[in-house]
Amino acid sequence: MTTSSLSSPPEGTAATAAPPKTDVPVLISGAGPTGLLAGILLAKMGIRTHIIERDMTVSPLSKAFSLHPRTLEILRQTGQDLSTRFEKQSLECHMGRMYFGGKLTAELQWTPAMESQFHHTWGLPQTSTVRLLTEEYERTGMGYIDRGWELVDTKVVEDIVGKKTTSWVETTIRRAVEGTNSRKGESAVLGTVEQAGEDEGKQYEIKVVKSDFLIGADGGRSTVRHVLDIPFPGRTRDANIILFDGHIDTDIPLDEMANLHAVGMFPLNGNRVRFLLSDGTLTEEEFAARKVKTPTKEYFERLLEETVTPHKVKILSYNWLTYYRANERRATEFVYKQRIILAGDAAHTHSPMGGQGLNTGLQDSYNLAWKIAMVLKGTAPLSLVDSYNEERIPIADEIIQLSSKNLNFFVSESYWFFQARKIGLALFSYLAPYLPTGTGGPTFAMLGLRYYKNSLNKEHATHHYAPTAPASIGRRAPDDIVYPLAADSTPVRLYNLMDILGAFQILVFTADCQVQKHGLEATLFTDVEHYQRSWLARWPGTGTGAATGVAASKASPQFMVHIISHPGLDATIGDNDLKKGSGYGKMYLDSEGGDLHRRYGITAKGGIVVVRPDTHISYRVESFDKAAWVDVDKYFGSILCRS
């Protein structure tokens, strides 16, 4: 073995001063979608990262290919250019066709998710997702990917000086001197969570990397999770699900998703498709040995023909053909000693049914990145990271349960279940045209996922925590159209105003002309200016930072205030009173019917709604008088560092 220190960033990579005792602020293990998005978000908030990835090249397998509306919102918030690149290469899914007995029995038109600017699911192979995210990460110039390196050990180190305790992460990584880090006997079956044994006599180069944080985004077999001995309870399903990705010749239209008995068909590009096919269950011996049969082209083609007949499907070529092991598991904790965090499949695994996996991992990163950035900048205490554990564990449990139900319907676990499913599919196929259509609701679109009351999401006496209420604490902030005051200005979406990564958005709703009725114009604008100045002075913007590895870039505001006026209010004078400098929002009019006021549950008294950097609501107060502003100020003081 040979040992060396951390290598220098490649030429062209931004080099910034690292904090004492650490080589890089954030080390990320895994260059998949979850790790890459975390790196991108942190970079755009001024935080340097270093990504290690065991594989020398990006996997050519299509793997996950569904991007749901909530994820598309996140990509848009990450960057308009990034969102546009994804859109150009994705297939927008408008419907699902159902076939039964050789006939097309239903075309289910997905009801657009109108609560978002993204109305449908986009289809894109994971290979393309990784490529686009890799390109975006490299554009930031705030980090680099070390391929061929894998994590072998990690720990949190504490240094106690007097009454003050500081901590950091020390991670051991290695690279094979010859060949690759792949090991003999590794399972090629997707969904596996067991690690392979070591190869004897293999020589490695060893490094130790010190970082403030480590993000373990290294997949279901996560080494980070294993070396920290974090339990991964759950179950391994005995379903034999065959995944196929290749080119076919068929008489079935390839422009939309389709269900043919127990086969799911998903178009990728041209005549390239993804098939999911249930091949029964493992025998007791196979299940106990954690082994499955290796599907051959001939076996799969025969099984496919038996299932889709009388339709014709001929395999022309294929990129991969494998079984998938559905593991329904969740780590007992996602945050280890506030410094090491699990994300994506390293934290939770489940079946591919419903296409929730990749989306959940990306949303893990969206929840986590701004919290790490605020801690590194000294804006928030280290305890803010604990809220990631509080919020993402319930989400993982919900997704696992949803995917499990979908898998139960897809596979035949017993004779009677199989017969019932056949009857159910037949009835549904013929009744579907007469039933209400939909995207599967906010759950499938992932717009309805919400967080609960915790150290970050707090209720106020004027607005109690109500889990089912719209725009309640912890829910995703509703999006809709608002109108600039100038008559010739183009309407804009609220989410497009809240596009500063890492910034809190404060929405002030004036309700039924409260400003004019009570003569509060001067008071409102004075309060806005006063608290904007106060917050920006106490908690600097997202692009600033000292000895924390933060790039010396132009500061972005940490707080933005947007006033949403009731359409009956003539607010042109008030808008002129608002500052137009960095950190100050503007006034906008709601729609004629006051749609945004209604969706946010605003009463006649108006209100102030605090939207977190990840566009979830964390606090709200009825009214916008001086007492309401004082309470909002106290809220920020309770979650951020003392000034």
Q: What is the CATH number of the domain that holds 301?
A: 3.30.9.10
Would you state the structure tokens that stand for residue 619, as one six-digit string?
A: 């606090």
Q: What residues have CB less than 8 Å from 576, skipping those under 6 apart? A: none
* pLDDT exceeds cutoff 70 at 474: yes
**Whether pTM exceeds 0.75:** yes
Are 217 and 136 contained in the same domain?
A: yes
- Structural domains in the chain (count): 3
What is the pLDDT at residue 215? 98
Q: How far is CA 576 from CA 520, 550, 562, 580, 636, in A?
A: 15, 35, 14, 9, 27
What is the pLDDT at residue 643? 55
Range of the domain at 603: 450-639
* pLDDT exceeds cutoff 50 at 423: no
Report the range of poorest mean pLDDT among 64-78, 211-225, 332-346, 531-545. Answer: 531-545
Task: Give the pLDDT band of residue 435 (cuts 50, 70, 90).
Answer: very low
pLDDT over 90, % of the chain = 40
* pLDDT exceeds cutoff 90 at 179: no
* pLDDT exceeds cutoff 60 at 420: no
Which range, 105-109, 325-329, 406-410, 569-573, is most confident? 325-329
What is the pLDDT at residue 582? 46
What is the pLDDT at residue 148? 93
Per-residue pLDDT reduced to its tens digit, 514-533: 555 555 566 788 888 889 88
* pLDDT exceeds cutoff 80 at 1: no
pLDDT over 70, % of the chain = 79
- Asked if the structure places residue 75 within a domain, the reply is no
* pLDDT exceeds cutoff 50 at 548: no
- Asked if the structure places residue 80 within a domain, the reply is no
Per-residue pLDDT reduced to its tens digit, 618-630: 999 998 889 999 9
- Asked if the structure places residue 104 within a domain, the reply is no
Last residue of a domain, one of 306, 324, 342: 324
* pLDDT exceeds cutoff 80 at 509: yes
Are 534 and 552 contained in the same domain?
A: yes
DSSP-derived pairing of the beta strands 481-484 and 587-589 = antiparallel
- Asked if the structure places residue 457 within a domain, the reply is yes
* Mean pLDDT value across residues 444-455: 86
Are 48 and 129 contained in the same domain?
A: yes
* Mean pLDDT value across residues 606-622: 95
Rounded-to-integer distance, Cα 178 and Cα 176, Å: 5
Residue with more model confidence, 439 or 496: 496
Task: Give the pLDDT band of residue 439 (cuts 50, 70, 90).
Answer: very low
Are 511 and 574 contained in the same domain?
A: yes
Task: Give the pLDDT band of residue 169 (cuts 50, 70, 90).
Answer: very high
* pLDDT exceeds cutoff 70 at 467: no
Are 189 and 55 contained in the same domain?
A: yes
Rounded-to-integer distance, Cα 149 and Cα 170, Å: 15
* pLDDT exceeds cutoff 80 at 37: yes
Which range, 18-27, 162-171, 333-342, 491-500, is most confident? 333-342
Would you say 42 and 136 are in contact if contact means Cβ atoms under 8 Å apart?
Answer: no
* Mean pLDDT value across residues 569-595: 63
Residue with more model confidence, 479 or 97: 479
What is the pLDDT at residue 331? 97
Last residue of a domain, one of 410, 430, 459: 410
The structure tokens 């092991």 sit at: 325
Residue with more model confidence, 193 or 444: 193
Are 611 and 551 contained in the same domain?
A: yes
* Mean pLDDT value across residues 49-67: 87
DSSP assignment of 466-502 equals -TTSTT-TTSBPP--EEEESSTTSPPEEHHHHS--TT
DSSP assignment of 34-95 equals HHHHHHHHHHHTTB-EEEEESSSS--------EE-HHHHHHHHHH-HHHHHHHHHHPEEE-E
What is the pLDDT at residue 544? 39
Are 54 and 166 contained in the same domain?
A: yes
Report the range of poorest mean pLDDT among 22-26, 106-110, 209-213, 551-555. Answer: 551-555
What is the pLDDT at residue 51? 98
What is the pLDDT at residue 137? 97
**DSSP annotation of 582:** T
Are 478 and 554 contained in the same domain?
A: yes
DSSP-derived pairing of the beta strands 49-53 and 24-29 = parallel
Would you say 113 and 51 are in contact if contact means Cβ atoms under 8 Å apart?
Answer: no
Report the range of poorest mean pLDDT among 61-70, 285-294, 630-639. Answer: 285-294
Are 487 and 584 contained in the same domain?
A: yes
What three-state secondary structure class fits 241? strand
Report the range of poorest mean pLDDT among 86-90, 277-281, 405-409, 568-572. Answer: 568-572
Per-residue pLDDT reduced to its tens digit, 115-127: 788 888 888 989 9
What is the pLDDT at residue 410? 65
* Mean pLDDT value across residues 399-407: 83
What is the pLDDT at residue 162? 75
- Asked if the structure places residue 429 within a domain, the reply is no
What is the pLDDT at residue 216? 98
What is the pLDDT at residue 522? 67
Rounded-to-integer distance, Cα 477 and Cα 515, Å: 24
**CATH code, 139:** 3.50.50.60
- Asked if the structure places residue 418 within a domain, the reply is no
Which range, 91-100, 353-362, 424-433, is most confident? 353-362
- Asked if the structure places residue 419 within a domain, the reply is no
* pLDDT exceeds cutoff 90 at 14: no
Are 375 and 254 contained in the same domain?
A: no
Are 550 and 616 contained in the same domain?
A: yes
What is the pLDDT at residue 122? 87
Rounded-to-integer distance, Cα 24 and Cα 52, Å: 12
- Asked if the structure places residue 118 within a domain, the reply is no
Are 396 and 545 contained in the same domain?
A: no
Task: Give the pLDDT band of residue 465 (cuts 50, 70, 90).
Answer: low
* pLDDT exceeds cutoff 60 at 344: yes
* pLDDT, averaged across the chain: 82
**CATH code, 546:** 3.40.30.20
What is the pLDDT at residue 44? 94
Last residue of a domain, one of 410, 430, 463: 410
Residue with more model confidence, 142 or 462: 142
